[in-house]
């Protein structure tokens, strides 16, 4: 009972964080698959610029990404004008805005593992499928996807865990609205700002354990990782 009493005030923040991370990961897998496949197979000169653009969230400060997204989604920004023309209103300080920001911020954590997995396949499996007269769609569904399963596992875990740990982007775009945009990282910030270190420590320790468990599961379940370990000294 004491544990449930301690957890009750954070139920909304936990649910919102898991919902945001789950939807972000799902959208990124859907959007990232064709993008990663194109990056792995294309010989276009656009591969370099597109790859650099996808990787930019790795080096840009989250506040920079959040600021420009906030401007773009504002009343005078292109995204804001588009959503208003559709009668959807503005996205800042809403869950939809958080979701859009999370998709952009976590993009490389999903696309890059998929890209690496697709590149590692080589041309052999595709050529073998072509000799059997498999269509491109059949080849992708029944040859590429099963062989790229470790990449999808890595992309799912990294995308989900990275979204759970977001702070700068979600604070810039979503603010701190209980039940709507206050995720766990923002809840920790609230406690620290109020000098409530005991509560902040409890939530922060929980996120540390979650991050460790997610990465440990990825390390143990990924067959590629097991193969590399077995080949080591």
Helix, strand and coil content of the chain, in percent to the nearest 5, comes to 80, 0, 20
Q: Which helix (H) or strand (E) holds 133?
A: none
- State the pLDDT at residue 8: 62
Report the distance separating Cα 57 and Cα 108, nearest Å. Answer: 7
Write down the residue that tokens 């977001």 correspond to: 166
> Cβ neighbours of residue 105 under 8 Å, at least 6 residues apart?
57, 62, 65, 162, 163, 166, 169
Residue pLDDT tens, the chain, 233 long? 455 565 566 778 888 999 999 999 999 999 999 999 999 988 899 999 999 999 999 999 998 999 999 999 989 999 999 999 888 888 999 999 999 999 999 999 999 999 999 998 887 887 788 787 778 888 888 888 888 998 999 999 999 999 998 888 988 898 888 888 889 888 898 888 888 888 888 888 888 998 898 888 888 877 554 443 333 43
Report the distance separating Cα 128 and Cα 149, nearest Å. Answer: 19
Report the distance separating Cα 52 and Cα 58, nearest Å. Answer: 10
Best CA proximity match to 20, nearest among 182, 177, 157, 172: 182
> Cβ neighbours of residue 222 under 8 Å, at least 6 residues apart?
150, 153, 154
- State the pLDDT at residue 182: 87
Domains of the chain: 11-223 (1.10.3720.10)
Query: What number of other Cβ atoms are within 10 A of residue 48's Cβ?
Result: 10
Contact 169, 62 (CB under 8 A): yes
Report the distance separating Cα 90 and Cα 97, nearest Å. Answer: 8
- State the pLDDT at residue 9: 66
Report the distance separating Cα 18 and Cα 12, nearest Å. Answer: 10
- State the pLDDT at residue 231: 33
């Amino acid at each position: 009972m004491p544990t449930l009493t301690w957890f009750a005030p954070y139920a909304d923040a936990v649910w919102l964080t898991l919902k945001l991370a789950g939807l972000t990961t799902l959208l990124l897998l859907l959007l990232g698959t064709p993008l990663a496949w194109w990056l792995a197979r294309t010989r276009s000169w656009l591969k370099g610029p597109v790859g650099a653009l996808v990787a930019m969230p790795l080096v840009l400060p989250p506040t920079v990404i959040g600021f420009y997204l906030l401007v773009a989604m504002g009343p005078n920004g292109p995204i804001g004008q588009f959503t208003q023309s559709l009668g959807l209103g503005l996205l800042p300080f809403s869950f939809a805005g958080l979701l859009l920001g999370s998709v952009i911020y976590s993009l490389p954590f999903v696309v890059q593992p998929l890209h690496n997995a697709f590149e590692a396949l080589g041309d052999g499996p595709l050529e073998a499928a072509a000799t059997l007269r498999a269509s491109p769609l059949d080849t992708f569904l029944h040859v590429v996807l099963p062989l790229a399963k470790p990449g999808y596992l890595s992309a799912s875990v990294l995308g989900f865990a990275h979204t759970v740990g977001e702070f700068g982007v979600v604070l810039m775009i979503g603010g701190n609205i209980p039940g709507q945009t206050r995720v766990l990282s923002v809840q920790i910030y609230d406690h620290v700002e109020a000098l409530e270190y005991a509560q902040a420590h409890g939530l922060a320790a929980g996120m540390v354990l979650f991050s460790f468990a997610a990465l440990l599961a990825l390390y143990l379940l990924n067959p590629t990782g097991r193969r590399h370990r077995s080949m080591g000294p």
